[in-house]
Amino acid sequence: MSEAAAHDGAAGRCETVMPFVPGQQVIWTYHPQWRRSAVYRVAAEVVQADRLRVRIRVCTASGTTLLRWVRPENLYPRAPDDPAEPYPVPS
């Protein structure tokens, strides 16, 4: 199996995962632990890419920059007209 293919053991199928490159603008589908029913579409930039995880840079509403390790399955390329939100902070 190539490095660009990920195996989903639960479903018994293989699917292709897009390789990400540093500097690429992406959307991160974020599911916060403190509010599992919510799904945020957070604008992010790829900093470092690995086969199993990707490091991204996100900004909060207050302008603070954060680095997060995420799974590539939770990322997709950002189109210029794609709406996104800042990283949410728990209240």
Which DSSP helix (H) or strand (E) runs through 77?
strand 75-77
Query: Model pTM?
Result: 0.73
pLDDT confidence bin for 18, thresholds 50/70/90: low
Indicate the residue type of 71.
Answer: R
C-alpha span between 22 and 54 (Å, rounded): 9
pLDDT per residue as tens digits for the range 26-82: 999 998 887 778 888 999 999 999 889 999 999 988 889 999 999 999 999 998 888
Query: How many CA atoms lie less than 13 Å away from 89 in the CB half-sphere?
Result: 10
Q: Which domains are present in the chain? A: 19-91 (2.30.30)
